[in-house]
């Protein structure tokens, strides 16, 4: 594609713009984020010049440029760009499927930047538009509901998450969709304190489907049920099967599982990599979780003063994001008391 474009007399011709879009998608799919950012910066400028700011090609280029910026750690710029792009989508074609997909991307971007209330707000608009246009059980409605369930879980609002997830199980289109909702229900129950009770059902689903989605649920349940060694093995399998762009959550859980199963060297190595890596803001709850794992490892090494300082900082950061009663804040406080 690059060779063909290099020979093009006019890269802004419609057929060449289409080729440039296809090349950009390949750069995103392969995770070549520096090249993707440069490519979509140039492509977005070309789209504005040729088609204008409201053209679908322009809006798509901006969305992919925001995604590349986020992957490179330019979170604030990425959020602002995606916000302005979704504003145009909603103004020009509020009930278009492309607008609804853009809203989902924006909700993910808000979660990446730790702006969970904003994520819930855009998901509210998304779900209303989807229900009005397509009904409760359209794939875009379901995608938005699943995304909202994840945000509610992150906020520790397990009752709301369970209620919304239960709605996804009322009219599944197939067995996989039904069991995906069941798996999320098991995960919510595990996060609420019932991990030991639900682990056998989680194992049955993982053994039935053997997909990363179900294996990750089993790993999360086992970690909370006090079986970190097996959880670590499962998280390694999940990470080997999914794109790097989606690795933050399971990688952090793997580091914690290694710590809690006595694999200190592995836990420290992975947690340090995650803390130093770009792509998440310093105060993001996931990054604070990585720091907590490092602090607990320091405790295991006998560096109590270092562990105390870091856990206190982590608790303060989580409190700022979630408030003092959030389960993660309570858990970190328990580590300080216990240790």
pLDDT, tens digit, 9 for 90 and up, residues 124-159: 999 999 999 999 888 899 999 999 999 999 999 999
Q: Give residue-wise pLDDT tens across range 240-297.
A: 987 555 588 999 999 999 999 999 999 999 999 999 987 788 899 999 999 999 999 9
Task: Give the span between the Cα atoms of 183 and 214, in whole angstroms.
Answer: 7
**Average confidence score pLDDT of the chain:** 93
Q: Give residue-wise pLDDT tens across range 95-118.
A: 899 999 999 999 999 998 999 999
Domain finish residue from 74, 92, 110: 92
Q: Average pLDDT, stretch 47-74?
A: 94
Listed in sequence order, the residues at least 6 apart from 135 whose beta carbon sits closer than 8 Å to its beta carbon are 141
In a domain, 316, yes or no: yes
Phi, psi (deg, nearest 5) at residue 87 = -60, -40
In a domain, 55, yes or no: yes
Query: Is pLDDT of 172 > 90?
Result: no
Alpha carbon separation from 157 to 148, 149, 326 (Å, rounded): 11, 9, 9
Domain finish residue from 92, 111, 136: 92
How many independent structural domains does the chain possess? 2
In a domain, 274, yes or no: yes
In a domain, 118, yes or no: no
In a domain, 21, yes or no: yes
Task: Give the span between the Cα atoms of 114 and 286, in whole angstroms.
Answer: 9
Task: Record the pTM.
Answer: 0.90
In a domain, 103, yes or no: no
Task: Give the span between the Cα atoms of 30 and 297, in whole angstroms.
Answer: 34
The CATH number of the domain holding residue 241 is 1.25.40.10
Please tell me the predicted confidence (pLDDT) of residue 243.
Answer: 58
| CA dihedral sign, ordered 318, 71, 139, 241 | negative
More confident residue, 178 or 262: 262
**Which helix H or strand E contains 312, and what residues bound it?**
helix 304-322
Q: Which of 97, 103, 111 is nearest to 246 (CA)?
A: 111
In a domain, 113, yes or no: no
Q: Residue 138: how many CB atoms within 10 A of its CB?
A: 16
Please tell me the predicted confidence (pLDDT) of residue 246.
Answer: 56
In a domain, 200, yes or no: no
Domain finish residue from 70, 92, 114: 92
Which residues span the domain enclosing 276?
227-339
Q: Average pLDDT, stretch 312-334?
A: 96
Task: Give the span between the Cα atoms of 72 and 37, in whole angstroms.
Answer: 9
Please tell me the predicted confidence (pLDDT) of residue 168.
Answer: 81
Task: Give the span between the Cα atoms of 9 and 13, in whole angstroms.
Answer: 9
Q: Give residue-wise pLDDT tens across range 223-237.
A: 999 999 999 999 999
> CB of 150 within 8 A of CB of 162?
no
Q: Average pLDDT, stretch 192-221?
A: 96
Task: Give the span between the Cα atoms of 148 and 281, in whole angstroms.
Answer: 21
Q: Average pLDDT, stretch 15-42?
A: 94
Task: Give the span between the Cα atoms of 146 and 125, in whole angstroms.
Answer: 14
């Amino acid at each position: 594609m690059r060779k063909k474009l290099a020979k093009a007399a006019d890269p802004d011709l419609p057929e060449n713009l289409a080729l440039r879009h296809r090349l950009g998608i390949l750069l995103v799919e392969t995770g070549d984020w520096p090249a993707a950012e440069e490519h979509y910066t140039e492509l977005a400028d070309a789209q504005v010049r040729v088609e204008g700011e409201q053209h679908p090609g322009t809006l798509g280029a901006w969305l992919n440029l925001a995604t590349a910026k986020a992957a490179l750690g330019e979170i604030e710029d990425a959020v602002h760009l995606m916000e302005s792009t979704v504003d145009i989508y909603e103004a020009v074609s509020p009930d278009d499927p492309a607008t609804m997909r853009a809203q989902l991307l924006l909700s993910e971007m808000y979660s990446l930047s730790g702006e969970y209330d904003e994520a819930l707000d855009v998901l509210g608009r998304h779900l209303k538009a989807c229900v009005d246009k397509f009904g409760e059980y359209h794939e875009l409605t379901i995608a938005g509901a699943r995304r909202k369930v994840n945000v509610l879980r992150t906020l520790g609002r397990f009752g709301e998450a369970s209620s919304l997830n239960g709605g996804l199980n009322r009219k599944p289109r197939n067995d996989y969709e039904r069991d995906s909702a069941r798996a999320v229900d098991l995960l919510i129950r595990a996060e609420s304190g019932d991990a030991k009770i639900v682990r056998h059902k989680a194992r049955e689903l993982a053994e039935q489907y053997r997909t990363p989605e179900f294996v990750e649920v089993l790993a999360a349940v086992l970690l909370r049920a006090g079986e970190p060694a097996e959880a670590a093995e499962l998280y390694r399998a999940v990470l080997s099967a999914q794109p790097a762009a989606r690795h933050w959550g399971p990688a952090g859980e793997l580091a914690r599982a290694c710590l809690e199963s006595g694999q200190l060297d592995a836990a420290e190595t992975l947690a340090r990599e995650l803390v130093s890596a770009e792509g998440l803001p310093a105060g993001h709850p996931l990054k604070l979780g990585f720091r907590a794992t490092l602090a607990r490892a320091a405790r295991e090494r006998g560096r109590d003063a270092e562990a105390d300082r870091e856990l206190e900082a982590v608790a303060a950061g989580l409190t700022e994001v979630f408030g003092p009663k959030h389960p993660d804040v309570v858990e970190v406080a328990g580590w300080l008391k216990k240790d």
